[in-house]
Chains A and B, each alone.
Chain A
Amino acid sequence: MAAPVLETENLVKIYGRGDTRFDALKGINLEIGKGESVAVVGKSGSGKSTLMHLLALLDGPTHGVVALEGRPTGDLSAKELNELRNSAFGFVFQQFFLTPNQSVLENVTLPLKIAGVPAAERKRRGLEALEQLEMADKADNKATDLSGGQKQRVVIARALINNPSVIFADEPTGNLDSATSKVVEDILFGLNRDKGITLVVVTHDEDLAQRCGRQIYLVDGEVVPNLPKSTSGVGGERGGQPGTRPASSTTGPLQVTEPTTGAIVTLSEADAAEIARAAQEPPRAGRHAAPSTTDQPGATA
C-alpha cells in the first residue's frame, strides 16, 4: 500500500447520552493509501455515513484520531479545517446539491469562489473541469435544466475543480439509472486511475463496491472482514428489500418528469419501485438517528 492519505486510530463517535445514547462508531482503525479506491459498505445505521463525515473532517470524533497525510487533525482550528476541506477534498453526493438559479459554471466553481480565487481564473478552471466531463457546452445553462446524469457530472466537475487529493462519494449513483450510473462510475474510477485521486465511496450497492480496489465493511459501527451471507447483500437501506440493482436492465429505463424542474429523468426499475413504495408508505422517522431493529440481522462477525 502507498503512503496513507487518511488514517484513523480508534475512532469513536457517540451521539446523545443516557437513554438516547447511540454508538455510531466503536473504535475504527483504518488506513487509506494515496491513489486507492475504497468502498465503505454497510447498511443504514452501520455508521458508514458517520465514518465518511469524520474522514472528510465534516464532524469531529468523540474519541480517536483522524490523520490527513500523517497529520492529526484533532487540534486544527475551524478555519484550518475549512481550508483543508476546501483544498484537499472533493465531494460527490447522492443528491446533487446544485444551486438551482445559478449557471452550471457558477455551480462548478463554487469551491474556488469560497477559496477566494479571482473570477477570471475561476472561469478558466471551471471550463477546464467541465471540458474533462464533456459538459463545456452546458456551462451557461441553468443547473436545473440538466438531466440527472448531466447533473452528476457537474457535481463531479465541482468535486474536481480544486484538484483534490481525495474525492468522497456518498452514494454517487443513488439517484441515477443503471446506464447513467455506469457512466458516472467510469468517470470516477477513471479519475482515480488516471489522476491518482484517492476515491472513498460510501455505498450499500455491492456492484459499485466491488469496482473499488478495497472494501471496508461496517456493521454496527465496527469494521468486519466481510458481510455475513444471511443479509443477502447489503440492501438493508431500502427497507429490507434486496436493493442491488441489476447490472443491466432488461426492461429498459423508466422516464419520469422531475417535479421541481420539469426535466425528464431516467429511472432504474429499482428506483421506480422505491418511488412507488414510498408513495404508499408513511415516512420513516429517525432513520439516521438510530438503527431500527429490522436493520440488524445477524450482526455477529
Chain B
Amino acid sequence: MKFIDLLRTAIGNTFRSKARTVLTVIAIFIGAFTLTLTSGIGTGVNDYIDKTVAAFGNDNALFVQKVSEQSTPGSNEGDGPTEYNPDEADVRLGFGSVSGLTDSDIDKIEKIDGVGSVDPMYLVTPKYLESASGKKFKLSLGSPPEADGLQLESGKAPERAKDEILLPASWVEPLGLGSNQDAVGKSVKIAIGNAMDQERTFTAKVSGVSQASLAGPSDNPIPSAGLNKKLYDYQVSGSPKKVPNSYFTATATVDDMSKVGAIKSELSDEHMQGRTVEDQLGMFRAVINGIVWILNSFAIIALLAAGFGIVNTLLMSVQERTREIGLMKALGMSGGKVFGLFSLEAIFIGFLGSAIGAAVAVAAGSILSGVLSNGLLSSLPGLSLFLFNPVNIAAIILSVMFIAFLAGTIPAMRAARQDPITALRYE
C-alpha cells in the first residue's frame, strides 16, 4: 500500500466512529490548548524581559563595582578593624560613603584579557529638576549607557555630545510638557551643588520620552554622557584639595562572552565584582520560567491522560475492526503496513487535537493579551502577556503528534500481530 493511500485510509477511518474520535480529540485539545497558552506566557514574559535586558544595556556589558573591604561576618580577613588605605577612594553619598573604583582599578579592568573598553560611571547627585513653569522636582539620574536599550514613546536617545536628557513617560505630565511628542525639544533645568556648597543650574533639552518598564532603570531621567560629565565635573569642583576620582560602577564591554567567567574571577581577585545583565535579571527570569514550567507540566499531564484516551480509542477500534484487519492481511497487507495504518490514525487524532487546540489558544491568547494590555497591564507598556512563537507552536503540535504516535503503538502492534485466520474465522 502506498503511503498516500495509507494516510487517506487512516484519516477516513478516524472519522468512522465520530463520537469516539471527537471525545479523544477534545482530551488532546485541552492539553494542547493549555500547553500553547502557557508557552505563550513564557514567550511573552521572556520577550518582555529581553526588552528590559536591552533597557539595562548591552548583553556584553559587565557592570563592575568595588567590593567593600569592610568586615563581613564569616569572612577570613574580616575580624577587627580594616587598615586605612589613602589610595582607596570613597564615593560620597548623602548617607555616607561606599568604596568606589579608582582610576587604577579602571586600568586593571582594562588590562584583563577579553575586556574591550571600560566606561566609568559618574555618580551625579543633582539637587532638583526645574520645569519651565518653575516647579521643582527631586531628581536622581540614570546612567547614560542605559538609554540605548530603552523603548521610546517619542524622540530619540540623548546624543553624547549635546546637553540632552531622556525623560520617563510618567514625568511628562507633572512637568507640564504636554504630550509625549510635545515634550521633545523642550528644555528643563538641573540644579547641582559642588564641594563648596555652591549651586548651579544646567539647561538640558528633552531628547525623547521613554516607556515605563517592569525591571528597567527607566524610572529616572537619563542625561547624555556629555551632560553627565559636565554635572560630575561641577559636582567635584570647588574642593580645596584635589579629590581622587572615584566611580560607583564602571561598564566594561566584553569582546568575547565566553570569557565572562574568567573575567569575573580576575575581578574578584582585585576586590571587584562584575555582573552581566543576565546575572542581574537571572533571578527574575528563573522565577518566571519556574512558573511557566509548573503550568507546562499541568498541560503535559493533561496530554499524557489524553494519550491514554488515544490508546483506549484505538484499542476499541482494533477490536471492532478485527475482521477488516484480518481481511487486509489475507489480501497481502504486511504487518508493518497495518501498524503504520493504526499509527497514522493515532498521529492524525493527535494532529487534530493539537492543531485545533493550538489555533484556539493563539486566538484566545491574542484577544486576552489585547484586553489585558489595555486594562490590567496597561501600566506595563510593551508587555504582551501571550506571545506566540511559530517555532514553539510547531514544536507543541509535533510533540503531541509524537505522544499520540507512542500511545498508538500499543493498539497498532496488536493490530499488526493479528493472525488473518483467527480474524477471519466466522463465529
Contact = CB atoms under 8 A, between A and B. Distances in A.
A and B together in one complex: yes
A93 B425 CA distance: 10
Contact of B426 (A58, A94, A111): A94
A58 B425 CA distance: 12
Interface in A267-298: 288
Given A85-B332, A86-B332, A99-B324, A113 B426 contact: no
A101 B332 CA distance: 21
A12 interface: no
Contact of B331 (A86, A102, A116): A86
A125 to B, nearest CB: 15
Interface string B312-331: 00000000000110111111
Given A78-B334, A82-B333, A97-B424, A114 B1 contact: yes
Contact of B421 (A59, A85, A87, A111): A59
Nearest to A174: B426
Nearest to A93: B424
A264 B194 CA distance: 109
Contacts of B271: none
Interface string B1-20: 11001000100100010000
A222 B421 CA distance: 21
A293 B425 CA distance: 21
A183 interface: no
A53 interface: yes
B421 A114 contact: no
Nearest to B333: A114
A58 B328 CA distance: 12
Interface string A98-129: 01011000000011011110010000000000
B334 A79 contact: yes
A114 B426 contact: no
A175 to B, nearest CB: 9
Contacts of A83: 332
A217 interface: no
Interface in A51-99: 53, 56, 58-59, 78-79, 82-87, 91, 93-95, 97, 99
A110 B332 contact: no
| Interface size classification for chain A | 20 to 34
Most buried by A among B9, B327, B421, B425: B327
- Among A56, A102, A114, A288, residue most surrounded by chain B Cβ atoms (within 10 Å): A114
A261 to B, nearest CB: 15
Contact of A58 (B1, B2, B5, B420): B420
B1 A116 contact: yes
A113 B333 CA distance: 10
Contacts of A93: 424, 426
Given A59-B421, A288-B425, A85 B16 contact: no
A84 B332 CA distance: 7
Interface of A: 53, 56, 58-59, 78-79, 82-87, 91, 93-95, 97, 99, 101-102, 110-111, 113-116, 119, 288
Top-7 shortest CB links A-B: A86-B332, A82-B332, A97-B327, A85-B332, A95-B426, A114-B333, A116-B2
29 contacts: A56-B330, A58-B420, A78-B334, A78-B335, A79-B334, A82-B329, A82-B332, A82-B333, A83-B332, A84-B332, A85-B330, A86-B331, A91-B327, A91-B331, A93-B424, A93-B426, A94-B426, A95-B323, A99-B324, A101-B12, A102-B12, A110-B328, A113-B1, A113-B9, A114-B328, A115-B332, A116-B2, A116-B5, A119-B5
